[in-house]
Amino acid sequence: MPNGTNPMDTADKEQLKLERLQSTLNRAYKNVPFHRKRFESHNLTPQAIGALEDIEKLPFMKRADLGLHYPYGLFAVPLRDIVRIHTAPGTGDRPSISGYTQADLLIWKKLVARSLNACGVTDMDILQIHLPAGLANWGRDYKDGGELLGASVIPNSMLSLSKTLMVLRDYKTTTLVTTLAFAEQLTDHMFERERHPNELNLKRIILVGEPVTKDIVKDLEARLHADIWQHYGLSEIPGPAIAHECGDHCGLHICDDHILPEIIDPATGQTLPAGTAGELVLTTLSARALPLVRFRTGDMARLITEPCGCGSPFIRMEWLTERADDYMIISGIKVSQEQTAVYLKQALGISDPDCDMERIRLNGTEALGISLVLDDALFSDEIKNLEQLMFTTERSLTENLGVPVTIRLMQKRN
């Protein structure tokens, strides 16, 4: 029987999870008014949670809750115990903030190290991180996890494509952590220049930010002569490497000793039976600074309860390409269409802009393309001003969303 999956271990693990959940809920209830009010509004106290399943009694947290309690309203420890503050674009005007204590950082470092190790990374590896600015927080976490394993880490830096390729080749990188968008861009760049992947020492690419289909994985592996591994993470909260593929590549193992997963029906909020596809909901089991209770990720997944051939004790999920919310994923960064419409309205100064949004390629990189219908409100300005307005709007949205934005004007719809 594979290591770590015998019944006693499983019972121990379930007991550990329950104890951690109860401790998390106690701390959240005691230290965070937001959580206490939610318990009270359901006539509950943490004592009502006597089993893992009892978590279903509690209400969900949404992305918007993070912005509403900006900046520090959801922290469950005094600010002096916080040693790192990460900022991510929020769902409103205000960014969402996550905080870490020293103990939190150590746990996340270990989880990232575990996830890297599951892909075969050791102290013999040279690990290069290439993530867009919007995922800089993950870059720091991968650096910390890689260092803990003793790998030689080349931290994230905003190098151009050709410089990144130079570093990949000259530094003899064995493991690249990046997004699908960048991996594809890199591949195209190499083939256009007739460079061969054999010039590289690359053994594996770890893709983060969005689920990648088997066909795309196969194609990339064939073109780059490297194995592809997927990691799942959240940019708003604790970090990357919440789930990772093992050598069997049959779903992603969730680090469920520290993060409790549930699958719900996104329409009704009902918990779904194991094996059914639905929205992934996560509860932190050890985070001290920023506990999350039933956080709706918007990501769609299916839990796989059968033991994995690799012997890992961690439950698996199949990460699905659909979404339970209106977010688009651009270069691995989540962009809310609803929020984008709000920013667009503000930047243009008109009440109800009519537009379509899609993910496009702009000079090789992924971008948000907005097709804006030219209506009378926009025509009240002269064309010269309109051009200027489009320029400042693109800049403002690019900054607020953390991804490149380009606006195309189109005639009225038929």
Side-chain half-sphere exposure of 325, counting CA atoms within 13 A: 20
Question: What does the angle CA 10 – CA 11 – CA 17 come to, to the nearest 5 degrees?
Answer: 90
The identity of residue 98, as a single letter, is S
Count the residues in the chain: 414
Q: Select from 41-49, 162-170, 305-313, 341-349 the region that touches its own copies (CB under 8 A).
A: 162-170
CB of 256 to its own copies, least distance (A): 27
Q: Select from 21-29, 153-161, 214-222, 351-359 the region that touches its own copies (CB under 8 A).
A: 153-161
- Cα distance between residue 101 and residue 170, in whole Å: 37
The closest of 26, 7, 67, 107 to 293, measured between CA atoms, is 26
By C-beta, is 156 or 297 nearer to its own copies? 156
**How many residues interact with its own copies (rule CB under 8 A)?**
41
Terminal Cα distance for the chain, rounded: 65
How many angstroms from the chain centroid is the CA of residue 139? 12
Region at 152 (left for phi over 0; alpha for psi -120 to 50; beta for the rest): beta
How many angstroms from the chain centroid is the CA of residue 189? 26
In this chain, which of 153, 237, 285, 368 binds its own copies, going by CB under 8 A? 153
- 126 touches its own copies by CB under 8 A: yes
By C-beta, is 164 or 283 nearer to its own copies? 164
In this chain, which of 124, 362, 374, 410 binds its own copies, going by CB under 8 A? 124
Contact (Cβ atoms closer than 8 angstroms) between residue 55 and residue 49: yes
Interface positions, 371-400, toward its own copies (CB under 8 A): 399
- Cα distance between residue 102 and residue 123, in whole Å: 24
- Cα distance between residue 70 and residue 88, in whole Å: 12
- Cα distance between residue 21 and residue 46, in whole Å: 10
Q: Select from 92-100, 179-187, 303-311, 347-355 the region that touches its own copies (CB under 8 A).
A: 92-100
By C-beta, is 122 or 380 nearer to its own copies? 122
Looking at residue 93, the DSSP 8-state letter turns out to be S
By C-beta, is 239 or 278 nearer to its own copies? 239
Interface positions, 163-182, toward its own copies (CB under 8 A): 163, 167, 170-171
Binding mask 45-84 for its own copies (x = CB under 8 A): -------------------------xxx------xx-xxx
Binding mask 196-215 for its own copies (x = CB under 8 A): --------------------
- 251 touches its own copies by CB under 8 A: no
By C-beta, is 147 or 257 nearer to its own copies? 147
- Cα distance between residue 238 and residue 96, in whole Å: 12
The pair phi, psi for residue 32, each rounded to 5°, is: -125, 110
CB of 338 to its own copies, least distance (A): 21
- 143 touches its own copies by CB under 8 A: yes
> Which residues sit at the interface with its own copies, rule CB under 8 A?
70-72, 79-80, 82-87, 94, 97, 99, 102, 105, 123-124, 126, 133, 136-137, 140, 143, 146-147, 150-155, 157-160, 163, 167, 170-171, 399
